[in-house]
Amino acid sequence: MLDCTCSPMNRYRILVKLAIKRKHVSEQVSELTTNRLSVYLRCLNVLEASGVKTVSSQSLAQQFQLNAAQIRKDLANFGEFGVRGVGYYVRDLQQHLRQILGLERRLRVAIFGAGNLGLALADYPGFRQEGFQMVALFDALSAKVGQRSRAGVPIFDIKDLRKIAERESIAIAVIAVPAEAAQEVVNQVVAAGIKAILNFSPGTLRAPEDVKLKSVDLTVSLESLSFYLAQET
């Protein structure tokens, strides 16, 4: 909280220090850490739904097969959330994690590829529950343009991407097109000014340094499971 009685110059210096601190935290926190924060949030959601009011890091770790020391270390990157003798207030920590992960903004998402996977992703209710709003599907097949998913997400022609992206304030693009079309779609997404991409298409894709691109290769995950099963036989 800033002291409103301080001089404009002092207020400016305080704001600069806070901005620098946030920047340093952002630079120091790894993607693995943010992934774990998402896991902690899911666990807290389960506890809150069960009526649990407080939880210690040790109890949280025991219930969900986590590491108590890692929980404390990860949370310490962002402040002191625990209360001595109490632990964490579940609802308060939920709110803090949602703010840290940026989930209070209700980010608007577009899915590219109105095939089986794209339609399934568009209609998955869990995304909406976590603050992600599916606002558009894009496809190159004219037969699909103008239709809607079962949940009512409209399908647009990818040629209209720039206009729709600006109108709908699309923040995240989800790529669910065949591998041979994926890079061209990424290029179009980048050209439309979208800075975050989640890719479900196989293969390696390229994006500029100022665009965050994450890939989920379902085939690789299945092959990993296949390897595990092969060792058991």
Q: What is the pLDDT of residues 179-191, one digit of tens each?
A: 999 999 999 999 9
pLDDT of residue 101: 87
Rounded CA gap, 113 and 185, in Å?
9
Q: Is the pLDDT of residue 139 over 50?
A: yes
What DSSP character marks residue 163? H
Question: How far separated are the first and last CA of the chain, in Å rounded?
Answer: 61
Mean pLDDT of 121-138: 92
Rounded CA gap, 177 and 202, in Å?
9
**Digit-coded pLDDT (tens) for 193-219:** 999 999 999 888 999 999 999 999 888
Contact 114, 185 (CB under 8 A): no
**Digit-coded pLDDT (tens) for 62-121:** 999 999 999 999 999 888 888 888 899 999 999 999 889 888 778 999 999 999 999 999
- Domain 25-100 maps to which CATH number in 1.10.10.10, 1.20.120.50, 2.40.128.30, 2.40.30.20? 1.10.10.10
Domain 106-221 has CATH 1.10.20.10: no
Rounded CA gap, 191 and 103, in Å?
25
* Band of pLDDT at residue 7, cut at 50, 70 and 90: low
- Where are the domain boundaries for CATH 1.10.10.10 in the chain? 25-100
Rounded CA gap, 193 and 170, in Å?
9
* Band of pLDDT at residue 8, cut at 50, 70 and 90: low
- Where are the domain boundaries for CATH 3.40.50.720 in the chain? 106-221
Q: Is the pLDDT of residue 15 over 60?
A: no
Strands 54-55 and 196-199: what pairing? unpaired
The β-bridge partners of 55 are 88
Q: Is the pLDDT of residue 176 over 60?
A: yes
Mean pLDDT of 6-21: 47
Give the H or E element holding residue 95: helix 90-100
**Digit-coded pLDDT (tens) for 27-53:** 457 888 888 999 999 999 999 999 999
Instruction: Write down the pTM of the prediction.
Output: 0.73
